[in-house]
Amino acid sequence: MHEQEIIKINAEEALKGKPTPHYLIGEVEISKDLHTLRGAVLFPSTDETISSRGHVNVAHEAFAIWNAAHILSDLLGVKDTRATRIVDSRFTREIKPDEVVDLEVQIPRDVRKMGVSRGMIRATFSQGGLPASEFNVEYVAKIKP
């Protein structure tokens, strides 16, 4: 994203009052059309569900994706965003705790009809420019009045 085409938001501030856990950290960049979020996530070893495994689980990644979805939902004027189906997922690298991981979340399709938004969320986790995992998830949300 070019500098003039992005919105910067503090993830911790934007997630206040949102369901936990929160793994998205620092400043995130959001495209001008509000359909792409780029930021960093940290899966801390102080989280017992991570330290007991020694690596990040798919469930932790799903929470991080939904951290981003909550921020984008607020900006897009929808609420109660729910996953309806995991279309596919790919895992190419294990993510270790306490390492900063890049996350890009896109909403390539958003259809609004009769007070409901339906679409697809595409998420990619990467480290050092190498993909670690990818997800495509269908969602449904209510359009805010």
What residue ranges do the domains of the chain occupy?
3-143
Strands, DSSP E only, in the chain?
A: 6-10, 24-31, 36-42, 78-91, 100-113, 116-127, 130-143
Which residue type occupies 54? Answer: G
The SS3 of residue 4 is: helix
Contact 118, 83 (CB under 8 A): no
Q: What is the pLDDT of residues 73-124, one digit of tens each?
A: 999 999 999 999 989 999 999 999 999 999 999 999 889 999 999 999 999 9
Mean pLDDT (the chain, rounded): 94
Q: What is the rounded CA–CA span in Å between residue 57 and residue 30?
A: 26
pTM attached to this predicted model? 0.93
What is the fold of 3-143? Thiol Ester Dehydrase; Chain A (3.10.129)
Q: Give the pLDDT score at 135.
A: 97
